[in-house]
Amino acid sequence: MSFSIYIDSDEVAFVANEGETILESAKNNNVNLRDGCVKGICRVCKMILVSGDIKYPQGSTICLTSDEIVENYILPCCALPQSDLVCSQDNSMSGKKYIKEGVLVISKEDKGSVCILRLKLSASSSFSARPGDYIEVEFGVNKYRKYSVANNPRRDGYVELHIRYREGGAFSKHLRNSIVLNDVLWIRGPYGETTFNLASKRALLLIATGTGLAPILSMLRSEHIDSNREILLYWGCRYSEDLYYMDTISSVIDKFARLEFVPILSRPAEGNWEGVVGYVQNCVLDEVNSLHSFDVYACGSPEMIQDAFNIFTKHLSLPASQFYSDAFY
């Protein structure tokens, strides 16, 4: 059995086979829809269901707020069509202006397996990223990689990216072997759903794994964040050498009077680590009684994000609408 999927009336149409999610069927028909974690957590792909029926597989994590559910939002990455569908792209994304421009490589600093890359914007650039946004970096013809912005480009005049060197990674190889100072790279963006809620005055729980620290840093570097706000910052990595920003993180967090920073290792070398051991989400569960009065920002691996959402909403009284996430691959 198959169903017809119409996006924004009949502007885009494709067929979904039985057992395929909307997103899977779109990709199989060469239709480009927004996607992110593909686990129902990041909410980047959300659309409005205008007509038709869908279901979610049993056990799926669906991070939609109660208001979004009432407004008939769905997550195409998990939604299985049960009839012909008419969907509409998320209205909140309309009117956004994305910029594509050339930027100059002004700094390339290797910190173990991570490169901190800084890209200079032109004096006439109108590029401006919100805390939590990401950009795409072009390499080759129509090849892009997504990276979160770790600073405030509008204020600083440059874009800071934290890029992990990955074995066999196409951009990793290009970055390590070919990109040098004063090279020109092309970027486009910014994009993002996991942006910092500047209107909220709740306490903050910021949890990150690996280079998921980058968007967290952009939030802490925002000129809009209150330096007296209660903040819990948990950063988890596998090994001590993966804590690539430890030598400079104090320059970011020292301005906050009520910030508690907890670095965590899941696989420390024996006798080489005296700090907290485990996974960030479990450490929060062990140390925090309730998250009802917190906004939570989780940035890192999809597995951590999914587990954190389940733990915090089920065991620490966190309202689902106060959980924001950004998944890294």
pLDDT tens per residue, range 188-237: 888 876 677 778 899 999 999 999 999 999 999 998 899 999 999 999 99
pLDDT for 146: 87
Kindly list the strands in the beta sheet with 276-277, ordered across the sheet, starting from the edge strand earlier in the chain: 276-277, 259-265, 231-237, 203-209, 294-300, 323-327
Q: Pairing state of beta strands 85-89 and 80-81?
A: unpaired
Task: CATH number for 2-92: choose from 3.40.710.10, 3.40.109.10, 3.40.30.10, 3.10.20.30.
Answer: 3.10.20.30
Contact by Cβ (8 Å): 239, 267: yes
- Res 153 pLDDT > 90: yes
Residue predicted with more confidence, 329 or 233: 233
Residue predicted with more confidence, 327 or 30: 30
Sign of CA dihedral 32, 34, 161, 211: negative
Cite the residue boundaries of each domain of the chain with CATH code 3.10.20.30. Answer: 2-92
**In the structure, what pLDDT confidence band is assigned to residue 170 with cuts at 50, 70 and 90?**
confident
- Res 164 pLDDT > 50: yes
**Cα torsion through 71, 77, 81, 85, rounded to 10:** 50
Give pTM, 2 decimals: 0.78
Burial of 141 (0-12, 13-18, 19+ CB in 10 A): exposed
Average pLDDT score over residue span 141-170: 90
The whole-angstrom separation of Cα 251 and Cα 187 is 27
Average pLDDT score over residue span 68-72: 86
The whole-angstrom separation of Cα 23 and Cα 80 is 9
**In the structure, what pLDDT confidence band is assigned to residue 81 with cuts at 50, 70 and 90?**
very high
pLDDT for 97: 58
pLDDT for 46: 87
Which CATH code fits 99-191? Answer: 2.40.30.10
CA atoms within 13 A on the CB side of 168: 0
At residue 304, φ and ψ (nearest 5 deg) are -60, -45
Fold classified for 203-327: Rossmann fold (3.40.50)
Q: Pairing state of beta strands 294-300 and 203-209?
A: parallel
Would you give the distance in Å from CA 89 to the centre of its chain?
A: 20
Average pLDDT score over residue span 4-31: 87
Least confident of 46-60, 90-104, 107-121, 277-291: 90-104
Cite the residue boundaries of each domain of the chain with CATH code 2.40.30.10. Answer: 99-191
pLDDT for 85: 92
